[in-house]
Structures are given as C-alpha cells and as structure tokens.
Structure 1
Amino acid sequence: MVTDVFGDGWHATAHYAAWLSGERLIEPTCTLANAKLTPEGQAILVMLASTRPADRAAMPIGPSGLHPFAQLRPEPDRVAMEAAIRKAEVALPKDTVRFMRKDTSGRPTIVLLGAANARLPMAETHWSISFKRAHHRDHLYAWLLAQPDWWQGWYRIAREQRAGALTEHLLTLFIGQDCEEQGI
C-alpha cells in the first residue's frame, strides 16, 4: 500500500491515516496496516459499495480485495537477509556471468555483469534495475541467486536483444510463478 498508493512515502501514509482518524472514519492509529473502521467509516463503505458499477460488484472491498503483493508488509530482518544472501553467494559456481548488488547514485541496484566486447578480459554491465528500498532489491537478488542455471541464458537475452527484453522476460517468469503458486 505504501509503495503502490503513496509512492513509497511512509510520511504520506501516516498523514493519511491521521486524517482518516481525525475525520472519525477509522479508529485512532498511526498506520493503515491494522486500521479498523468506525461505524461512520463502515456506513461510508456500504454507501460506496452500493454505488459501484455492476461489473465490479463481486470484487471484495478493502484490504481483503488487494492482491497479496499489494498488502503492507514489514521490512524483513536485515541480518537474516544478509546471512541468506551470503550463504547463497558462496554456493554459486564461479562464472563469467553474474548478478551483483550495488548502489548506483544512492539507489539500491542489481546489475548483470558479463564479458565485455573487448580484446582484454573485462566485464561490463549488460543489465541493471534499481529500487527505492534495499529490501526490495534484496528480495529480487535472493530470487536471482536461486536461479544460477539460467544466468547464461538471461545474459544472452540482455546482450543479444536488449536490456529491456531481459526485464520483460523476468517479469513474465514472476507472473507465471505467482499464478502457478496461486493455482490460477
């Protein structure tokens, strides 16, 4: 919710929660994650549900209607995340193609390094993606670390097609994996 609705602005989220509380639409709280509607808030929700277009009437209203990825989650335990990443990195085979975590212009980033198109043995960045928050980057990085058998193929996609083609390919994989896990 913080990322999707408020552009990763925790202060804006807290301000909105305070405003809803001040209007007596939710019980006093500083977060929206556990907010409870007041009777007035419930009445407004019923009114809004009653005026929904017919094609959206079956959709649930409120947090239960959000996709699991859109639900507010706390930041993971940084120490546990770093330990899991280090363990996965140590187990990787030595290869000329590898994903790495970096900070680029102050933004947490993942880069794909591979052989440079040069006569000297060099590596260059063929693909990168940056995030607003390090734990978002680390979630993707941990997923990438679990897929080393695919790295050469993904490197070829980024090098021979374009970097955007690799981004599209990874997004397609995520969507397919999520649908599979949900039985869709």
Structure 2
Amino acid sequence: MDRSRDGGGNLPWGWWLRASGSVLEDDDGRTWRSVRDAFWQGHLSFPDAHFAAEQHELLLRVLTAIEGRWGSVAEQQHDLFGGDMMSSRFYRCWLISIGLLDAGVSFGNIPNPLQGGLTDLGRSVMLMLQATREPAWQDLPMVDVIDAVAEKELGQAGEAREKELNAFEREVGHRRYVFARERVGRSHLITLTGISTGIGARMPVRRVMWSQSFTDTGARDDLFAWLAMRVGRWDDWGALAYENGAEALTGHLFTLFIVGMGKPA
C-alpha cells in the first residue's frame, strides 16, 4: 500500500476504498465485505477466521493504549496480555514490522521497541478500528477532558481540579459501567455501578458492583484521576466485577497499580 494513503494519520485507513453495491473495492479490483476485511485479509494477508473480530478488538486496545500513553508498559502487559511478557513484547515487535509502530530508542540511541509511538499508518488504522468498532465498544469521553484530568499531579486539590473531574464525570455518566465519586456519612467513596438484570427482572437496573472508601477527598480523587486516565478499560473491569465479584476487581486494580510502580503514567 502507498504509505501516502495514511493521510498523515488524520484519516481512517481505507478511506480510498470504493463502494460497489454491497461490497468495497480496492485499486486491484478485489472486493471486501467491510473495511476491516480489506485491512485484515487484504493488507495483512490474514485468513478469514471466526475469531478475527477479537483480534481486531485487541489491536484497537493496544493501539489506543500506546497512543493515549496510559499506564506503563508493564501495566499494559498485565491488563491486555494477562501478564504474559513474551506475548506483549512480540506484539510490539509485530506492530513495528507492519509499520504501525516506531522502533523507538533508549538512552544512547539503542533501539527499544517498548518506547516507540504510533506511526501515521498506525494512527490511521486506529481511527478505522474506532470508527468500525462494535456498538458495545463505547466512545471515550472528549480527548481534551481526559488530557485535563491526566495532567493533574497526584495530591493536587482546589477548584480547578474539581471542575475538571466534574466535567469528566458528566462525560462518562451514561456508560454501561461507571466509576463515580460519592460521599456516605463521613466516608468518601469511589463506586463502580453497572447495568444488570436480576433473575426474573423485567428491565435492567443500575447496581453498585464495587466500592472503595477513603477518609478524605484527596486520596479518593487521586485514585479517581488514575481510573479516569484508563477509562477505555472500564467496560472490561466492570465485566470482571460483575462476573467474578468485587474482590476480583480489587485484586486486578491493585496488581495494575503495583506493576505500574504506582504512577498514573
């Protein structure tokens, strides 16, 4: 593929495909059922497998994590690859080999695949996957709201920070799974609520699936800012709490915080 077609990373991959009836046609005359098929089977030469959709989702989440720079490489390894270091490292090397990721360099100009960012082609593919994601993958809040929350240092208080956290909460309020700040008596809480249907229930309702209490707002808001930077993972974390209980989510988050050296990088 002509790399100029990546649109400088500002256009979704496949913007040049032509609609022909119920299919899409590329410059070679090949036809595809979808732009994802054109990328996966045509560009990458992968087979038409029944599990392709899950691989598309994994690729989207990895690209989004690298572009958004949430968490450390170790944290992403645990959260996206089940802690498998070999798989995580191989995946990044593969992304470099197909031109979606820069090689990256460490001190002394030594190549380091763990330090590379997305190429223009990588951003273009990420935009395509975001635009064609399944309805269950909800849009993230506005980028500038996430950035505003992320730039605040841990321990910072005041009206500016509260305003930004409030703006973020408004943006995510209608997600299927939502972390939120609350106060009950003298306790300051972070709760995770999700939509669930009980046995025999006729309609879904929101239920608290996980909570953590704090003695002051500062520590609570520090954790909430950490969670806000990882909003793209909320649906999976909510599903974890729903299927395996609150303790499973607590252990998962604790592990992420430890492997990330406690820093919301």
**What TM-score do the two structures reach when normalised by structure 2?**
0.37
Is residue 195 of structure 2 the alignment partner of residue 112 of structure 1? no
1:113 and 1:181, CA in 2 relative to 1: closer, same or farther beyond 3 A?
closer
2: CA distance between counterparts of 1:172 and 1:121?
A: 31
| 1:1-184 matches, cutoff 5 A | 76-92=156-172, 94-118=174-198, 119-178=202-261
Q: Partner residue of 2:104?
A: none
Greater displacement, 142-151 / 115-124: 115-124
Deviation per CA, 1:147-169: give whole Å up to 9, x if none: 11111111111111110111111
Amino acid at match of 2:208: T
Code of the residue aligned with 1:169 in structure 2: it is: H
Q: Which has the larger radius of gyration?
A: 1
Instruction: Give the aligned residue type for 2:216.
Output: R
Is this contact kept in 1: 2:210–2:246, CA < 8 A? yes
Q: CA deviation at 1:91?
A: 4.2
- Classify the secondary structure of the residue corresponding to 1:171: helix
* C-alpha distance in structure 2 between counterparts of 1:93 and 1:127, whole Å: 16
State how far apart, in whole Å, the 2-side matches of 1:181 and 1:82 are. 18
Matched to 1:166, the amino acid is L
CA distance in 2, matches of 1:135, 1:180: 16
Name the SS for the 1:126 alignment partner: strand
Cross-structure match for 1:67: none
Structure 1 runs (4+) deviating above 3 angstroms are 90-94, 179-182
Runs of at least 5 residues in structure 2 that lack an aligned partner in the other structure:
1-153
Instruction: Provide the rounded CA distance (Å) in 1 between the counterparts of 2:183 and 2:230.
Output: 22
Letter in 2 for 1:131: F
Contact residue 172 and residue 178 of structure 2 kept, 8 A = no
Q: How high is the TM-score relative to the length of structure 1?
A: 0.53
| Residue identity in the other structure for 2:217 | A
Amino acid at match of 2:188: P
Contact 1:88–1:146, Cα closer than 8 Å, also in 2: no
Considering only aligned residues, what root-mean-square deviation do their CA atoms show, in Å?
2.5
When residues 75 and 125 of structure 1 are mapped into structure 2, their CA distance, relative to the original with a 3 A threshold, is same
Equivalent position amino acid for 1:120 in 2: M
1:180 Cα deviation (Å)? 8.0
Aligned position for 1:30: none
Q: Which has the higher contact order (CA 8 A, sep 6+)?
A: 2
- Structure 1: distance between partners of 2:262 and 2:197: 38
Aligned counterparts of 1:82 and 1:93: Cα–Cα separation in 2: 16
**Which consecutive unaligned segments of at least 5 residues does structure 1 have?**
1-73
* AA partner of residue 156 (structure 2): P
In structure 1, what is the Cα distance between the partners aligned to 2:172 and 2:251? 25
